Amino acid sequence: MRTGYQFLLLITSFFFVSGFAWSSQVEETTPFNFKKDLLLMHFDCKTDVDDIHSAAALKMLMSDSCFSNVDYYAVAGTYGIQEGLYVPPNELFKLAFGDKWVDAHADREKAINKMKDVTLKCLLTGGNIWIAEAGQSDFSAELIKAIQKDAPTINTSKQIHIVQHSNWNEEVTTPESLSFVKQNSVYHKIPDGNAVGNGTPGFRTPDYNDWQTKVQNPEFLKIWRLAVEIGVKYNGKAGRYNNEAVASGGLDFSDLSEVCWILGLQQMKDTEEFFNRFGR
């Protein structure tokens, strides 16, 4: 009887601990709250031109009636320790985002202070911050430190979510910064947006140019034309990364897979489906 009782206690303890862990995970993956959360997309723009295409895709997605009420902000120049030249995105970002972006390449400290003010408005009213890392996490680490300094009562480990899809982005993040964001935010590593059928959309598509006929809105068409133009201008130039999908005349907005994951669009398949849904 005593042995059976001990076994029962062991089984009960196992399910209690398992249930607790499961509950914690559910809490960590609480869905994006469209009414009070803030979406940030941090673009490294170094040295791959995929960020340029991703910015155009973000604008089109955020303009859809399902997501037009989402509060969002873009940051350019959030690169880590990778080598190579910057891909200047300013003309496109001004056209696509107006005053809803900051330039961390031109003035990193100013960008940190601006985004600290923007994020605190959300955090202090009970909202969460969701960061799509279209690059490395160095800027995110600096931003979290600035928030903690100015508002130490905020629990960034619960209220700030960081979403990363790329192993390479992690490898060229300053190790201390990567460790810091993992310890001071809810860090989500999701399947790579360069591939199709792995649990997130695959938005890297060589030879894809159907966007020219599928994008119906003149504003979005202008944005995409500029994005493609900038991509061709800088792709593989002066030692920059040569994105083969872009070189073949296709598109690469793979970083948008993180935004899709945040907003509940994980089941979207690929570039074709994206333009079929949001291009018209």
Q: What H or E segment, with its residue span, contains residue 191? A: none
Residue of 131, 158, 280 whose CA lies nearest to 215: 280
Whether residue 6 lies inside any domain: the answer is no
| Cβ-based neighbours of 167, under 8 Å, separated by 6 or more | 192
Q: For 217-257, how does the pLDDT look when each residue is reduced to its tens digit (9 = 90+)?
A: 999 999 999 999 999 999 999 999 999 999 999 999 999 99
Q: State pTM to two decimals.
A: 0.90
Q: Report the distance separating Cα 143 and Cα 163, nearest Å.
A: 15
Residue 177 lies in a domain: yes
DSSP 8-state symbol, 58: H
Burial 31-54 (b: 16+ CB within 10 A, else e): ebeeeebbbbbbbbbbbbbbbbbb
**Counted domains in the chain:** 1
Torsion of CA 147, 151, 155, 159, to 10 degrees: -60
Average pLDDT over residues 3-7: 40
* Predicted pLDDT of residue 82: 98
Alpha-carbon distance of 243 to 205, in angstroms, equals 11
How much is the mean pLDDT over the chain? 91
Confidence class of residue 182 from pLDDT cuts 50, 70 and 90? very high
The confidence score (pLDDT) of residue 30 equals 85
In a domain, 141, yes or no: yes
* Within-domain flag for 13: no
What residue numbers bound the domain in which 187 lies?
Answer: 33-278
What are 70-109's pLDDT values in tens digits?
999 999 999 999 999 999 999 999 999 999 999 999 999 9
- The SS3 call for residue 151 is coil
Given a contact cutoff of 8 angstroms between Cβ atoms, the answer to whether 166 and 192 are in contact is yes
The whole-angstrom separation of Cα 187 and Cα 163 is 6
- 109 CB-side CA count, 13 A: 0
Considering the domain boundaries, does residue 23 fall inside one?
no
Q: Which residue has the tokens 């880590």?
A: 80
For residue range 111-123, list pLDDT tens digits in order.
Answer: 999 999 999 999 9
Confidence class for position 179, pLDDT limits 50, 70, 90: very high
State residue 205 phi and psi, 5-degree precision: -135, 100
Q: Does 5 have pLDDT greater than 90? A: no
Whether 25 maps to a domain, the answer reads: no
Residue 251 lies in a domain: yes
Buried b (16+ CB within 10 A) or exposed e, 134-149: bbbbbbbbbbbbbbee
**Dist. CA 156–CA 128, nearest whole Å:** 9
The answer to the question of residue 15 being in a domain is no
Which token pair is 4?
A: 């059976």
Q: HSE on the CB side for 65, CA within 13 Å?
A: 2
Confidence of residue 29 (pLDDT cuts 50, 70, 90): low
* 76: three-class secondary structure by DSSP: strand
What would the two tokens of residue 136 be? 């490395």
Digit-coded pLDDT (tens) for 127-152? 999 999 999 999 999 999 999 999 99
CATH number at residue 274: 3.90.245
pLDDT at res. 17 = 37
Asked if residue 3 has a cis previous peptide bond (ω within 30° of 0), the answer is no
Cβ atoms of 189 and 153 within 8 Å: the answer is no
Contact assessment for residue 40 and residue 132, using Cβ atoms and an 8 Å cutoff: yes
3-class DSSP state of 133: strand
